[in-house]
Structure 1
Amino acid sequence: MCAGYDENNNDNAPSWSNKGDSEKRSDAGKECPDWEKLELPPAHILSHLTDAHCHPTDLDQAAETYDNVRLGGLASMATIPEDQERVKALSRDRPWLQPSEIGKGKGKGKGKGKGKDDRGVGVVACFGYHPWFTHQYTLSSPPNIPSKEDHYFSLFAPNSSKNKELLSTLLPYLPGPVPFDTFLEKLRTDLRTSLADGRLTMLGEVGLDGSARMRWPKKAKHLHPDSVKADEAQRDNYTKREVGNDQADDDWRRLTPFKVPMKHQRAILDKQLDLAVELGVNVSFHSVACPGPSLDTLISMREKYGIRFTNRINVDLHSAGGWSPEFWKQAERNLSNLYASPSIFITSRSPSASSLIASISNDRMLVESDSHDVTLSDRLVWAAAEWISRCKGWKLEGRDRHPSDPDDSDKDKVAEWDGIEEQGKEEEEEIDEKGEIVEVENKEIWTVRTLERNWLRFMKVIE
């Protein structure tokens, strides 16, 4: 089922009580589908979809798990230093090659240039540093690295005596500040190496989070107010009995009251976006509870770099950011290279989610799962595609009969198609002899074909 809306995740979203009857009626039939019960289409339809944002390396998943994925591609995100190598290894094992590299012997793909031994799902390597963990990085360089105490007290600037005391108590359990420039050089190397190897590559997951708070250090779990209660509850817990204390500790997460300042997040983000422009790689952008600062950041990149930003790279707003439909439209008008990828888990939290999806231009729409469990990827991406079709009023392959489908009584037979060739044909049909776009009234728009074309354009696989 779709996740419930948490108003703390989006300060700008209207509450359900503010939603008028007309808006409720306009959303009829556009509800988020039950992803757990939705019937999946034939595998060849799923193979035309790419999960634009997921975290498969968060779990240690067996190789055969990826063999069973029916999607065409996964954009595998990195968030912390340890993720970068895991993403690199996965993308090397199951590469998605740039079109110019197919058949050159780079990687194992020689035919379609995607997947392990040219079979199965292809992985887009995404390297980057998530805003949730930016408090661990200092913008200072050696030999001017601040002490642990100076770094955290300067960053969080606690006002109350209670918070000052808490930060002092937690200080011994916090990591020392690391110069972000160290990670930035590693990021440059990872991106360059992946590009040189001929693999599709992105910067992600990076961005801003207005609700980001430092996590309570696990080594200080015993100091948390509910630690005794939590330990008692876990003592008879199945997970703790079966997988051991280490796994149970991994599952323990609490937040401190210390918010990561937007100024610090922005400084870390700007360095990564500068690198994206330098190397010409697309961006998966995290934006939570800060639509204004997020748009300001992207517009500042446009002002700084001009067409090097707008024409050279594209930006995908992960889970559509929970932005309001009106704010999204404003962003679209300002940024010609901005896309959005709705997800079931995150986008559905907003009461205006269906209206937001409907407001996204047809050629800016992508789709994602935001899941770390690869076994759920097919179902979550298909559910999001189904939801998009409802909100946009589009036809859906496998649900509706396409003109190319076999003309017989078996409604389950769906014609296969070649993604790139199909896009070329559709483009030709929309261009007249003068080279101008022909506006076709009441033209049917097909969800999977549109999402596939948008992804290929987003990644500049096609023009």
Structure 2
Amino acid sequence: MSAPSNPDAQPSDLPPSSVLSHIVDVHCHPTDAPDGIPASAMDSLQISICAMSSMQSDQGKVKALASAYPEKVTPAFGYHPWFSHLISITASTSAPPKETHYRTLFFPTPAAPNAAHEAQFQALLPYLPDPCSLSTILDEVRANLTLFPNAMLGEVGLDRAFRVPIDYFASLRILTPFTIPLEHQLRILEAQIDLAVELRRNVSVHSVKAQQQTVELLSKMKAKHGDARWNRISVDMHSCGLSVQTWRDLEKKHENVFLSLSVVINYKHANLRELIASCDADRILVESDFNDINMCTSWTWDMVRIISEVRGWPIETEWIEDDASLEEKDWGVIRRLWKNWLRFKNGNHPTKQKAKRNKRRDYNSEGSDIQEI
């Protein structure tokens, strides 16, 4: 695979503003930028973005950004699996004592921890906040989603590769041996998706080293809520790292699941082009997954170009507002992605009718039935 065409694209490399304004970066993290978001960068932004939150400290930042730029920003509120250890899933509305909570998570077996792990735990503990109860987190997410009628749930998901660092915000993170139990992550993810279904909000899902568990959870959610309620929302597998076969299976089982791709994450995956080629034309979305708003446009644009190349969809040099004047076969890559975004945003996906069993009775010469098919 050749290198990305131009991840630092200058304005002269980009399409005209009438075309650019129909590009949506469906997953980015501008509020994570260490130096903040310059107002000048947001004022000059010509694409639209979906700004993700992931932890307690950035929920308010995303809220403020969406309030300041409602035409450009779709906010997403939720808790990322990397921060799920900060949440208590006990039945009580109040979280247990700090050390009890984290010790239970990181040392799930009754055997005494070895000396090295105990030392790491004692080094980590001062950097960890008091845990927050899941009910409190859900109340906060509910309030934020309710405040913005177009808001999504995100970024949420599962991650079996993440190791808890001593200080997440340090410039050089020192990793501990501790991981977050998958069952703990699943409880928090399922509760957040339940809320999304209740409020009819779309979801941006992170999945790392958890293909099977993610597929199983989506099937569980569909069975739990029923086809009709499940298909009212859309689910985006962000920077999708699933195998081609797993993705094809998801497409068949879920009418509401979309695939979004980023150069930052997906370019290093050997199956990127095959994944693009195999995906239904109406399920593909693009994203930057970047935290610098100045780079979101160029990184998203580069993925647009890769999709254009793989699928053979031309890149528009002008925007035709009248859809009726264009047959679908003549749509360019940006129009196709724009239509996919609208389909994702609007939800309410049609549910496939299950084929009814065709019953008939065959009879022998005496008239008694002998077989049901």
TM-score bracket for the superposition, by shorter chain length: 0.7 to 0.9
The 2-side partners of 1:155 and 1:445 are apart by: 51
Deviation at 1:81, TM superposition (A): 1.2
User: Alignment RMSD, CA only?
Assistant: 2.1
* 1:319–1:340 Cα contact (<8 Å) kept: yes
Q: Which runs of 5+ in 1 are unaligned?
A: 1-26, 96-113, 115-121, 219-248, 399-414, 431-442
Deviation at 1:147, TM superposition (A): 2.4
The 2-side partners of 1:366 and 1:309 are apart by: 23
Letter matched to residue 25 of structure 2: D
The 2-side partners of 1:308 and 1:275 are apart by: 16
The 2-side partners of 1:281 and 1:37 are apart by: 33
* 1:301–1:309 Cα contact (<8 Å) kept: no
The aligned counterpart of 1:76 is 51
* 2:96–2:131 Cα contact (<8 Å) kept: yes
Q: Give the TM-score taking structure 1 as reference length.
A: 0.70
Q: Secondary structure at the match of 1:277?
A: helix
* 2:94–2:133 Cα contact (<8 Å) kept: no
Q: Give the TM-score taking structure 2 as reference length.
A: 0.86
Deviation at 1:130, TM superposition (A): 0.6
The aligned counterpart of 1:263 is 183
Deviation at 1:169, TM superposition (A): 3.6
Letter matched to residue 57 of structure 2: E
Residues 1:297 and 1:462: Cα distance change in structure 2 (over 3 Å): closer
Q: Secondary structure at the match of 2:49?
A: strand
The 2-side partners of 1:295 and 1:280 are apart by: 21
Question: Which structure 2 residues correspond to residues 4-403 of structure 1 after superposition, within 5 A?
Answer: 32-36=4-8, 39-59=13-33, 60-71=36-47, 73-95=48-70, 114=71, 122-142=72-92, 145-157=95-107, 159-195=113-149, 200-217=150-167, 250-320=170-240, 322-398=241-317
The aligned counterpart of 1:236 is none
Deviation at 1:178, TM superposition (A): 1.5
Residues 1:380 and 1:144: Cα distance change in structure 2 (over 3 Å): closer
Residues 1:141 and 1:355: Cα distance change in structure 2 (over 3 Å): same
* 1:79–1:129 Cα contact (<8 Å) kept: yes
Q: Which runs of 5+ in 2 are unaligned?
A: 350-373
Q: Secondary structure at the match of 1:397?
A: coil
The 2-side partners of 1:94 and 1:354 are apart by: 34
Deviation at 1:445, TM superposition (A): 4.5
Letter matched to residue 352 of structure 1: N
Residues 1:81 and 1:282: Cα distance change in structure 2 (over 3 Å): same
The 1-side partners of 2:257 and 2:92 are apart by: 37
Q: Secondary structure at the match of 2:148?
A: helix
Question: Which structure 2 residues correspond to residues 428-439 of structure 1 after superposition, within 5 A?
Answer: 429=327
Q: Secondary structure at the match of 1:292?
A: helix
Q: Secondary structure at the match of 1:358?
A: helix
Letter matched to residue 331 of structure 1: L
The 1-side partners of 2:253 and 2:145 are apart by: 28
Runs (4 or more) in structure 1 with deviation over 3 Å come to 141-145, 158-161
The 1-side partners of 2:325 and 2:81 are apart by: 42
The 1-side partners of 2:224 and 2:343 are apart by: 24
Q: Secondary structure at the match of 1:319?
A: coil
Q: Deviations over 1:146-175 (max 9, x none)?
A: 322221221112754321332134323322
